[in-house]
Structure 1
Amino acid sequence: MLSLVVLLWAILPGAAHAAVDLAITSLVTNPNPMTSLANPEATVTVTVRNGGDAQATFVSVQLLTTGDAEQIQTVTCPVAFSPSPDPALAVPTSCARGTIQPGETVTMTARIVVAGTSTRVPSFTHTATAFQVTPTGNVPDPTPADNTASETVTVTYDSTLTPDDASGGGGGGGTTTKAPTVSALTLAPSTFRAAKSGPSAVAARTPIGTVVTTKLSAAAALTFGVERAAAGRKVGGRCVAPTRRNRTAKACTRWLALSSRFTAEGEAGTNRQRFTGRLGGLRLAPGRYRLVVTAADSRGRVSDPRRAAFRIVS
């Protein structure tokens, strides 16, 4: 008799069903980034609420930024959520596998750094999405439109610095009003074994790793970063992390910035350093990568990033 009552409750029109109702209730960036300075930072805060009457399990909260113009450095996840992908391999861009109780609100924060650029970008767009990797029961989210939120951040600039597109100064030891430029970045060889120990960079004559050659328009401090290739899916014109929902979308390659960097002093003209395949005191795992370099002068003006692909073998 009890089984019949339960069956009738499930099929009768108008019967109440417990449902999850996820919503992005807030998406805020603070402070407003300034791209005329070297490595400006900001924090993006994403707030998610479960307004339904059922527990939301296997929840992921993902943040997308403006491509190469800015990079996520770290994420801080709510209790019982895990950073994703594996932070030992690349910088996470989402918090995954979490649970949100009915009526509960959780918050994820991400620290972003604006990429060095000599082109003034008028704005950045941040998009946050919350979804269940494994939906609760068979009851759909009653308001799926509020599972995603976007914000456009207008970029401000430091008025004390000369605009990067101003006319150049004279030669013969004179100064320039433009940011330095990296006109070339090459690695030879582009496939090599990572060193078992030691620093990220050593003298070019040392027989290990690969020789990195850069060409600079002026003396500048060089900052080298590494991006790791990862699987992705093409969604809305962007390459995003694979999920159960987008598993049938076209495959693509995401480039995930590793959190550590190494530096070197560069002179005008050709510079050479030897990269050992180590970063942050760790040996890079076998796989495909890109070396990224920017040059910053003494006034804080930063070049556009330049990239070169390489492969680490075992």
Structure 2
Amino acid sequence: MHSTTDEVDLRLRVARRTTGAEGVVVLDLRDPSAADLPEWSAGAHVDLHLPGGLTRQYSLCGDPADRSVWRIAVLREPESRGGSAHVHEGLGEGDEIAVRGPRNHFALEPSKRYVFIAGGIGITPILPMIDAAQAAGADWELHYGGRSLRSMAFLEALEEATGSRVTLHPQDEVGLIDLDRLIGTPQPDTLVYCCGPEPLLLAVEQRCAAWPAGTLHVERFAPKDVGEPVLTGAFEVELAVSGLSLTVPPEKSVLQVVEEAGISVLSSCTEGTCGTCETTVLSGEVDHRDSLLTPAEQAANDTMFICVSRAACPKLVLEL
């Protein structure tokens, strides 16, 4: 669907580790043999496979033209389930780590004008987007919010590169971004890209509800609340390639049932945010419970993320 690059599994070395801001560490990852890394485009992310079976997704925030390095920035989450804690405390220069990617479900589409809105570490995928917009000759502006200037990463790079197009909104000094003023009224020939914490994303989605369909593009770090499933009972999935027909009970995901039947499916986050387990739907209506597809993409009913999405009908036919 969105992803244009074949994903690969790599073992990369932490070539450089720096502090990006208060609570933010920036890692430059390189191939130990100095080989070029796979191509990627603005909005792409990679999976880090961490100890204890943890997999975490981080946006690439360097220069796509530099194939020698992948740069990520990791916020130390106070409520960390172990991922960011390991990166901050257990991953040093010279260490090697398993990485999978790149994957892009947040690609920058061509437009005459962009409004970029970033909250906290959500600045990471926006940085290469700004460079791409600039290179394309598009008009753009960035509104970047954070708890305080100390907590906001990459400020120096933004100051050097962009000047007056960038507005900083440190919450302790100026409060929250004034979204009503910024995007309260639809603007012609403009796309809105937003990444950050859930309250910001929800607020931006509300303001953009009146804009033309397809205007708003968001990327979530955590799954959004999608409520109760459409069907509370079991449903059937027919696997067209494998010739299997399986029953998915209420307490299991499609992914779990498919894997238990011996069918290998790539998966990563298991919460509908990374896009790894995307599966083609040949027939049936899907109860989309992911945090990736746009309303139009969901309505097409031709793809689903089987780690979280379910059936909205008695039977789905999948290309597995």
| TM-score after normalising by structure 2 | 0.24
Higher RCO (CA 8 Å, separation ≥ 6 residues)? 1
**Structure ranking higher in strand proportion:** 1
